[in-house]
Amino acid sequence: MTTGLDAADRLLDRIRATRTEPVTDHRTAALALTVAANLPVLLWGEPGIGKSATLAQLAAGLGAPLETVIASVHEPSDFAGLPIVGEDPAVQGVPMAPPDWAVRLARTGNGVLFFDELSSAPPAVQAALLRVVLERRVGSLTLPPSIRIVAAANPPASAADGWHLSPPLANRFVHLHWTHDPRVVARGLTGTWPAVEIPALAPDRAGGALARARGAIAGFLTARPGLTHHLPADAEARGGAWPSPRTWDMALRLLVFHFCAGTAREALATALVGAVGDGAGLELITYLDELDLPDPERVLADPAAFALPDRGDRQLAFLTAVVSAIEGAPDRARWESGWTVLAKAVDAGVPDVAARAAFDLARMRDPSWPVPPAIDAFIGVLTASGLLTGA
């Protein structure tokens, strides 16, 4: 039987039908980069600007199910698991049963887990979320590693019964500040919204990308050791992005994916600031702009044709990148080329910079490989360490 509401529902279906198109917005690209790198990401923004719709579009673009969990209406036990008493608790223990949404994600094997209204979750719920976000543990269940974790939050001033995020929870996310673009809204209301496209990775760049990223982060933190860990003084800043060994590991992963995909500088900058905070992130971006590391694979192919950088932190970044590249695909020829590179650092009068890399390179030696002449400059310190025993 047809009712008057049937026509209304058909009209609503037509209004809801939309298209998507590629965009070059740096925030959207930063979100895509972070999701590709499988880092938990938190979108901050005022109510009604499209955070939830963006994440729904992200899941649709991935072809993955979206599980939305409103964090603020759950109890801590919903994330830590509910105790279920078995036949013999003294022998088998008491398992913590996961909620239905976690079981669905585990059964599917992939998907997007979306925590909405995160800043409205009280401290006890935030504490229960720590293992979910970092370790993917929900009760006794471990979520598959391919599950992407995203969240959305309103600033405490505009959230419903808002709280600042606890520092441990905040430090587990890449924070992206989401704002509306009037042009995007106008275009969307005509039926076309921006698509969230995951960057295309070039697998052949993976080894060099990891080596360059490791070198860059090592060089930067050598130059700015005070930024390795810096917990902000005020509660609001502690609830956002700030530098710690955990977030520097996030920055490393973002750099690797950036080098593999060739994403835009603005997208990388937005993601890095979201990982380690404004001050450290902007300094890192400036450092990367000035670093200009040569491709370690090209250096290993012709170690005699490169010039060592002048500054100590850049020298360390370069040598770290070279050693990391060798570690990714070790063989005798590459190993010997690495010693030729390190010997240039000794000739340049900076053996202390090369010594750290020399230890790492020496550990890769196959017992059948002869000791190359270039190792002579390090023979004393390496023999004392026992790394060349039996050479």
Q: Considering only CA atoms, which of 335, 328, 325 is closest in space to residue 368? A: 335
Q: N- to C-terminal Cα distance for the chain? A: 89
**Are the CB atoms for 277 and 186 separated by under 8 Å?**
no
Start-end of H helices in 201-244: 206-223, 235-238
Q: What is the pLDDT of residue 159?
A: 57
Provide the residue-wise pLDDT of the chain in tens; the chain has 391 residues: 567 788 898 899 998 888 888 777 889 899 999 999 999 999 998 887 778 888 888 888 888 899 999 988 888 888 887 777 666 666 666 778 888 999 999 999 999 999 998 988 889 999 999 999 999 999 889 999 999 999 999 886 665 566 889 999 999 999 999 887 788 788 888 878 777 888 889 888 888 889 999 999 998 998 899 999 999 988 889 999 999 999 999 999 999 999 999 999 999 999 999 999 999 999 999 999 888 777 888 889 888 887 888 777 888 888 889 999 998 889 999 999 998 888 888 777 777 777 778 888 888 989 899 888 777 777 766 665 555 555 4
Q: Could you identify the residue written with the tokens 């504490």?
A: 127
116 has which bridge partners? Answer: 70
The sign one gets for the Cα dihedral 148, 152, 156, 159 is negative
Distances in Å between the Cα of 184 and the Cα atoms of 43, 51, 281 are 18, 13, 27
CA separation for the pair 385, 391 (Å, rounded): 13
Q: Considering only CA atoms, which of 274, 276, 260, 262 is closest in space to residue 217? A: 276
Q: What is the DSSP letter of 48?
A: T
The sign one gets for the Cα dihedral 121, 126, 129, 134 is positive
Q: What is the pLDDT of residue 264?
A: 92
Q: What is the pLDDT of residue 391?
A: 46
pTM of this structure: 0.84
Question: From the CA atom positions of the chain, what is the Rg in Å?
Answer: 25
CA separation for the pair 94, 274 (Å, rounded): 39
**Are the CB atoms for 302 and 334 separated by under 8 Å?**
no
Q: What is the pLDDT of residue 353?
A: 74
Q: What is the pLDDT of residue 66?
A: 93
Q: What is the pLDDT of residue 91?
A: 63
Q: Number of C-alpha atoms within 13 angstroms, CB side, residue 63?
A: 0
Q: What is the DSSP letter of 205?
A: G
Distances in Å between the Cα of 101 and the Cα atoms of 98, 132, 143, 319 are 8, 13, 11, 47
